[in-house]
Amino acid sequence: MKKLVATLFFISSFFFAHALKYHSGIGIRFGKFNTGITFKHFYDGDNRRGLELDGFYTNIPQGGYTIKGLYIFQNHIHMPLLQIPLDLIFGGGLHASYFPYYPHLNDAGYYKKVNGHKIPYYKDVIVAGVDASVQVEYKIPARRAPFTLTFDVNPFYEFLNRGPEWLDFGFSIRYVFR
């Protein structure tokens, strides 16, 4: 039964495999470190350039909050054999984070790594940095299911209060407005 459903899904994608344009999308991202709300908006008619704004709960040390803004470029990937409507997205932007310190948890809180050693801040920390993003997006072709599925990889560099990590990856599902 599972094989039949998978086969029908792929066969139907051959018949509906064309680039579906949309103006905006809002959804949820599940990531290695950042999980939360994601919003994407295109300001041109070709779905080539846009903005992505995200608000996340960050599960690095004791937890924190991150907001991120990206300027993105989206291009359709043409794969003649598969005929799957995929888009490749590149982007760059900035992020800011807040990591509260809870001394009663007996944890050092947010920290940085220097020569492989953990150096805690022992205080509330505000972090700022630059981001890059590479994403692959699949637009579900059915008109009754206006959703996109996105896998992303986001390297980042923090220039204010560096942290222990530099790479996040995740999966998003967005409802799109055409």
**What are the pLDDT digits (tens) for 84-138?**
778 999 999 999 999 998 888 777 788 888 888 888 888 899 999 999 999 999 9
Considering only residues 86 and 2, tell me which one the structure prediction assigns the higher pLDDT.
Answer: 86
Judge whether residue 17 has pLDDT over 60: no
The pLDDT value given to residue 102: 85
Domains of the chain: which residue ranges? 2-177
* pLDDT tens figures, 30-72: 999 999 999 999 988 777 899 999 999 998 877 899 999 999 9
Q: How far is CA 167 from the centre of its chain?
A: 12
Whole-structure pTM value: 0.80
Give the number of other CB atoms < 10 A from CB of residue 131.
19
Give the number of other CB atoms < 10 A from CB of residue 79.
11
Written as one letter, the residue type at 1 is: M
Smallest CA-to-CA distance from 174 within 140, 144, 130 is with 140
DSSP type of residue 105: G
Note the CATH number of domain 2-177.
Answer: 2.40.160.20
